[in-house]
Amino acid sequence: MSDRPVVTRIAPSPTGAMHIGTARTALFNWLYARHTGGKFLLRIEDTDRERSTPEAVKVIFDGMAWLGLEADAEPVFQFARADRHRAAVEQLLATGRAYRDYMTVDELTIERERAREEGRVVRSPWRDNTSNDPDAPFVVRLKSPLEGETLIEDQVKGSVRFLNKDLDDLILLRTDGSPTYNLAVVVDDHEMGVTHVIRGDDHLNNAARQTLIYQAMDWEVPVWAHLPLIHGPDGAKLSKRHGAQAVSEFDDMGYLPEAMRNYLARLGWGHGDDELFDDTQAASWFDITDVVSAPARLDWAKLNHINNHYIRLAEMPRLAGLVTRVLKSRDVSLHDGAEALLERTLPVVRDGAKTTLDLADGVMFVLQARPVTLPDKILGLLTEETRGRLSRLADHLSGLETWEIASLEAAIRSFAESEGVGIGKFGQALRGVLAGAASAPDLAGALFCLGKPESLARLDDALSPAV
Ligand code: GLU
């Protein structure tokens, strides 16, 4: 390994969604670059022109921005670099390390069949034929070594050996002159100065192919690290039935990006038993050699636990903004002053919330317009006796000067004592009157969040004689 400054990259192909596995790969590259004081780059592998629409590219940018994984340079677009890829092939042709293969489709079919029968890979007769036919269509193939082995010293998988006799001469340029995937990746990684290729282990075989291209170009081969897949909680390959797969779905489900970073960092890597850590800690601890080679399993309970932690740490205006977004998506109309109301309510309801969707459920009780619709169950509790008691409670509360949780708790307790009953005697009815069918925190919390005028108004609504 050389002592070049570390450069890592994520090289997603725009497909219309950013998979959670891509997010984890991006995170590991980002952490490793931060750990080593290196750079983290982004390359959009947009050579599939049908799929690489501007919208699909935007999904990647949005996903990276949401995750907070900023690249250290402008993104590189692979398709725009086709001339660079072709220039590398010219060099390989000039040095005799690639050749023009004029086999026709029919000839190739016959050779494939023969190779299959003989238990070997396809070999073109043009490999050792230096004559050129300027008018016939051709592909350019790498002149790969026929003997020996290609060794991948993978940082995660360990040593993986490929026998060169099993690797056919890779096509570098197609008949239409377009570069192939493995060629483009090698030229781009080399010219971007990438020192460490950290990616999904579905690319492990490509590492052998790509090594041969590096060697033919006399370029330094990068350090390889192939990450195991992310599996569903049941150990099967992650799929639709496991719930979310795309980064945007986790956003829609109310997970915070810092929670995702913390959680994803632990998928295949860890620092002892530490479950909760911030980016600085992760970057200082992260080493690619500590990634485990077995597939990691998505664990919703852990993710929820971590998300709850970051929800409890989040700054209130930001949390209010996130919850507002959820409420708007549910067509909840927000009156003037709703923001202040949210900022007062969220600290009271957030402790048990797993996601911002839970938070949105938790604040609904304060957002209801008066008069609050009371479910039959609550109406049934409002007997003559309870109405009288709640009315006396309203008087008691209206005399309160400080409207804080502690003083409200004390006031409710002293009221119950003065009535000679337990809080249970009127608690459920009071809660219903304040919140209707919505879920609400405990009584003092609910009164505090609603504020004094609104609390008393809701009590008044419920206790006024029906017209
Ligand atoms: N474009 C490839 C993918 O999205 C990644 C290639 C690489 O990381 O070398 O799977």
Q: How far is CA 436 from CA 330, 335, 371, 372, 428, in A?
A: 19, 19, 10, 6, 11
Mean pLDDT of 77-104: 97
Mean pLDDT, residues 96-117 taken together:
96
Catalytic residue among 143, 165, 237, 240: 240
**ω into residue 347 within 30 of 0, thus cis?**
no
Mean pLDDT, rounded, for 408-412:
97
Residue 58 among the catalytic residues: no
Using pLDDT thresholds of 50, 70 and 90, give the confidence band for residue 310: very high
Nearest atom within ligand 1 for CA of residue 199: 8
Q: Cα separation of 311 and 254, whole Å?
A: 10
Band the pLDDT of 134: cuts 50, 70, 90.
Answer: confident
For residue 371, the model assigns a pLDDT of 95
Structure tokens at 375: 């479910």
Topology of domain 1-74+228-313, CATH: Rossmann fold (3.40.50)
User: Is the confidence at residue 320, as pLDDT, over 70?
Assistant: yes
18 CB under 6 A from ligand 1?
no
> Model confidence at 129, in pLDDT bands (50, 70, 90)?
confident
DSSP string, 387-414: HHHHHHHHHHHHT-S---HHHHHHHHHH
Residue 235: pLDDT over 90: no
- In CATH terms, are 1-74+228-313 and 81-227 the same topology? yes
Q: What is the mean pLDDT of residues 237-250?
A: 86
- More confident of the two residues 113 and 229: 113
Q: Which of 13, 24, 181, 214 to mutate to test the pocket of ligand 1 (most atoms within 8 A of CB)?
A: 13
* Ligand 1 lined by 19 (C-beta under 6 Å): no
pLDDT score, position 84:
98
Q: What is the DSSP letter of 314?
A: S
CA distances in angstroms from 198 to 7, 28, 49, 225, 467, listed in the order given = 10, 8, 25, 5, 72
- pLDDT confidence band for 287 (50 / 70 / 90): very high
Residue 152 CA, ligand 1 centroid: distance in Å: 17
In terms of Cβ atoms closer than 10 Å to its own Cβ (0-12, 13-18, 19+), residue 294 is exposed
Tell me the mean pLDDT in the region 260-284: 95
Q: Where are the domains of the chain?
A: 1-74+228-313, 81-227, 315-363, 376-463
**Class level of CATH domain 376-463:** mainly alpha
309 lines ligand 1 (CB under 6 A): no
Per-residue DSSP letters for 417-449?
Answer: HHHTS-THHHHHHHHHHHHTTS----HHHHHHH
What is the C-alpha separation between 318 and 228, in angstroms, rounded? 35
Is residue 185 lining ligand 1, measured as CB closer than 6 Å? yes
Percent of the chain with pLDDT over 90: 91
Q: State the burial class of residue 83 (Cβ atoms within 10 Å of its Cβ: 0-12, 13-18, 19+).
A: exposed
Task: For domain 81-227, give its CATH number from 1.10.490.10, 3.40.50.620, 3.30.420.40, 3.40.50.1820.
Answer: 3.40.50.620
Mean pLDDT of the chain: 95
CA–centroid distance, residue 289 to ligand 1 (Å): 20
Prediction pTM value: 0.93
Find the 11 Cα to ligand 1 centroid distance in Å.
5
For ligand 1, the distance from its centroid to the CA atom of residue 352, given in whole angstroms, is 39
Angle between helices 443-450 and 405-419 in degrees, nearest 10: 120
> Which amino acid appears at position 432 of this protein?
G
12 lines ligand 1 (CB under 6 A): yes
The pLDDT assigned to 337 comes to 86
Instruction: For residues 233-247, give the mean pLDDT.
Output: 85
Instruction: Indicate the pLDDT class of residue 103, thresholds 50, 70 and 90.
Output: very high
Please report the pLDDT score of residue 241 as a whole number. Answer: 82
Please tell me the residue having the least CA distance from ligand 1 atom 3. Answer: 12
pLDDT at 215: 98
pLDDT exceeds 90 at position 187: yes
Quote the ligand 1 centre to 396 CA distance (angstroms).
67
Mean pLDDT of 242-249: 88
Residue 467's pLDDT band (boundaries 50, 70, 90)? very low
Question: Is the predicted pLDDT of residue 389 greater than 90, yes or no?
Answer: yes
Ligand 1 site, residue 13, Cβ cutoff 6 A: yes
Ligand 1 contact, 462 CB (< 6 A): no
